[in-house]
Structure 1
Amino acid sequence: MADLNIERTHNLGLPKAREIAERWREQAEAEWGMDCAVEPGDTEDVMRMSRSGVSGSLTVSANRFDLQLKLGFLLGAYADKIEQKIRQNLDELLGPA
């Protein structure tokens, strides 16, 4: 098993961060076959996601994205490449820092 913890700070505010999280959810479902469910909150939303060999959550707040993933045995071998792709994807969605 491998754990991935990816955090990105931003200054977008919660409404815009929610829009970006929704785009990320659409990509995760379409490109990676993830099943996602969003639990909205007053100050942050939590998106729970899973598929065979992967489970985790994305916490979205007014100033931060916090992604926690657990990779199963087979996908754990590709943890570095998976982490690199996710970081690149979040950086593209969030734009320049």
Structure 2
Amino acid sequence: MPKIDIRQPHHLSLAQARAEVEQVAARMHEKFGIEGQWQGETFSFSRSGVSGTIAVESDAVQVKAELGMMLAPLKGMLEQEIQRKLDEHFA
């Protein structure tokens, strides 16, 4: 399975970074039906074809995802979109 692993540095407080991830998670749910839950400072998400985590650290956010076979051909596009959203929320 193809994997995505992107680390985005930030200068936010842990609480602010977590709030940004909450906004992103709400949008992912609204737009793609992705469900998720927090386990400590890590948001785990999944839906058919993709699963992963968004880990909030004091100085960075780490996005990891595994793509199913149907989304594998879209890996490059998905990485670009994730990076764009991370830049938008954390740069």
TM-score, length-scaled by structure 1: 0.89
Cα distance, 1:27 vs. partner? 1.1
- Return the alpha-carbon distance in structure 1 between the equivalents of residues 77 and 48 of structure 2: 18
After superposition, what is the alpha-carbon deviation per residue over 1:33-69, rounded to whole angstroms, capped at 9, x for unaligned? 11111112xxxx0100000010111100121100100
In structure 2, the partner of 1:90 is: 86
Tell me which amino acid in the other structure corresponds to 1:26: A
Give yes or no for the alignment of 1:28 onto 2:28. Answer: yes
- CA RMSD in angstroms comes to 0.9
Note the C-alpha offset of 1:4: 0.2
2:50 paired with 1:77: no
Q: CA deviation at 1:3?
A: 0.2
TM-score, normalization: structure 2?
A: 0.94
Q: What is the aligned partner in structure 1 of residue 18 from structure 2?
A: 18
Q: Which amino acid aligns with 1:72?
A: G
Query: Could you tell me how far apart the structure 2 residues matched to 1:3 and 1:83 are?
Result: 10
Contact kept, 8 Å, 2:11 with 2:59, in 1: the verdict is yes
**8 A contact 1:13–1:61 mirrored in 2:** no
| Alignment of 1:65 onto 2:52 | no
| Local SS of the residue matching 2:71 | helix
Gaps of at least 5 residues in structure 1 are none
Q: Output one character per residue of 1:61-89: Cα deviation in whole Å (capped at 9) or x when no partner.
A: 12110010000011011000011111101
Structure 1 CA distance, aligned partners of 2:79 and 2:33?
A: 17
1:19 maps to amino acid? A
Ranges of 4+ aligned residues in structure 1 off by more than 3 Å: none
